[in-house]
Amino acid sequence: MSTQQIITHRTPADGNIFADLGFAPEEAQRLLAGADMAIDEKRALKQTLMTEIVNWIDTHNLKQAQAAEILGVTRPRVSDVVNQKTPKFTVDSLVDMVLRTGKHVQLSVQS
């Protein structure tokens, strides 16, 4: 006998999970907007770090396998950086790679 639960509700990709959780419509919209902004800012930060890595690879005329060895990752991971696959990386892992290029990373927080 299976102990699987049957899923009776699924939030559509364009839905608002906060509304589904029972928040008032105004609050749900505010929370969704805040979550979207945070995701966009993290994606932009990752893209900036990835661009630094790609520029370093290009400047040094490195093959992906050579870059992978220096960066301490696999060649497919370098390919993911080159192709800007941001969901596959944490900011932390990208900072580590940038540091291995000999560059320094400095964070600036603005209001």
- Which pLDDT tens digits describe the chain residue by residue (111 residues)? 456 667 666 666 678 889 888 999 999 999 999 999 999 999 999 999 999 999 999 999 999 999 999 999 999 999 999 999 999 999 999 999 999 999 999 988 888
Instruction: Output the pLDDT for position 9.
Output: 66
DSSP letter for each residue of 18-72: HHHTT--HHHHHHHHHHHHHHHHHHHHHHHHHHHHHHHHHHHTT--HHHHHHHHT
Q: What CATH architecture does domain 17-100 belong to?
A: Orthogonal Bundle (1.10)
pLDDT of residue 10: 67
* Token pair of 6 as six digits: 């049957």
Give the torsion sign (CA, 2, 3, 4, 9): positive
Residue 57's CB: how many other CB atoms inside 10 A?
Answer: 21
Where are the domains positioned within the chain?
A: 17-100
pTM of the model: 0.79
